[in-house]
Amino acid sequence: MGPGSGSICTTMRTYKGETLSWNLTEGILDVSLHRRPCNEIGSATLADLERLVEALASLGDEIAAVVFSSAIEAGFCAGADLRELYRGMQQVKGAERLAGVRDFLERIHRALNAIDAAPAITIAAVHGVCFGGGFELALVSDLIVADRRARFCFPELRLGLVPGFGGIPRLKRDLGNALVRDLLFTGRSINAAKALEAGLVSQVVGEGQAPRVARLTAQQVRKFDRGTARAAKQFVKPIPYAELRQEIDLFCELFQRPAVEEGLRKFVESTDALPYLP
């Protein structure tokens, strides 16, 4: 099966893909991430996300709320698929390599911007690891419900990069700049309690409860008029398009440095106990 070539019913209400699946019931679209080892985002996930964007547009007002959750025990998402990125780098050089990365970034920004701007209320139910690109996926959502074991982290600087899927502009949208800089410059992870204190997540729940609580939250938001909810969302959650565009350019500029390939090689070949640490 090729990337994103999962089975989809003609109405787009249900989908079973290689990396994510969804099902629409009673106005709530449950989106499940299920790519092992921990939902790393590569070309297959991107294709499935693009399919999801098509479904959101097609189903329109049938969807009141979307709940994102992970079926993988280790966590919500460990970030971009760095192994796929590194393998891709070995196959092409120079301008072609950069063009490939830029194309990937343009596509994932289009998909995530569309989810960010979706009329439905979107809720991420996060447990375990929520790192890098996974953190960026969660930040697209309107609400984050975190399992008390969740951890959030932007480790990109260890590779000589910045987050590339919209992380910095969206983090800045939600948090004070001091914590944004701390997370970015140190690459440290924070737990759910800290994330709640900082205003990054709206609810912290017991172990294994995040999907259930997110769905209860979705049932609550479903009660209200969708047009009003859509207007309120547009009012309180502006999308930082200009900064998102700058982020793509900055990522591509940094990506051309030799240190990035070396950093990726070290990560891919690492047998360290804590390979995510800088």
Partner 1 sequence: MPTRNLDEITTEILDLAAKKFSVPRAELKPEDDFFKKLRIDSLQALDLLTGLERHFSIELPDYELQGVTDFRTLAERIQARVG
Q: Helix, strand, coil: what percent of the chain each, to 5?
A: 50, 20, 30
CB of 278 to partner 1, least distance (A): 7
Specify the stretch interacting with partner 1 by CB under 8 A; choose among 41-49, 79-87, 90-98, 270-278: 270-278
Q: Name which position in 6, 17, 42, 75 contacts partner 1 (CB under 8 A).
A: 75
CA distance 33 to 163: 21
Is 156 an annotated catalytic residue? yes
DSSP codes, 135-173: HHHHHHSSEEEEETT-EEE--GGGGT----SSHHHHHHH
Q: Name which position in 129, 146, 161, 201 contacts partner 1 (CB under 8 A).
A: 129
CB of 101 to partner 1, least distance (A): 26
What secondary structure letter does DSSP report for 11? T
Q: What is the CA radius of gyration of the chain?
A: 18
Is residue 277 at the binding interface for partner 1, with CB under 8 A as the rule? Answer: yes
Is residue 7 at the binding interface for partner 1, with CB under 8 A as the rule? Answer: no
CB of 134 to partner 1, least distance (A): 12
CA distance 3 to 47: 6
CB of 200 to partner 1, least distance (A): 14
Q: Which of 136, 207, 243, 247 is catalytic?
A: 136
Given the structure tokens 């709640």, which residue do they identify?
196
Specify the stretch interacting with partner 1 by CB under 8 A; choose among 115-123, 171-179, 186-194, 212-220: 186-194
Is residue 71 at the binding interface for partner 1, with CB under 8 A as the rule? Answer: no
Is residue 189 at the binding interface for partner 1, with CB under 8 A as the rule? Answer: yes
Helices 167-174 and 177-186: crossing angle in degrees, nearest 10, is: 140
- How many residues does the structure list for the chain? 278
At 9, list the tokens: 């019913």
Is residue 278 at the binding interface for partner 1, with CB under 8 A as the rule? Answer: yes
Of 112, 137, 116, 119, nearest in space to 35 by CA: 137
Is 197 an annotated catalytic residue? no
Size of the site for partner 1 (CB under 8 A): 24
Q: Write out the catalytic residue numbers.
A: 136, 156
The residue ranges that bind partner 1 (CB under 8 A) are: 38, 74-75, 128-129, 148-149, 151, 186-194, 272-278
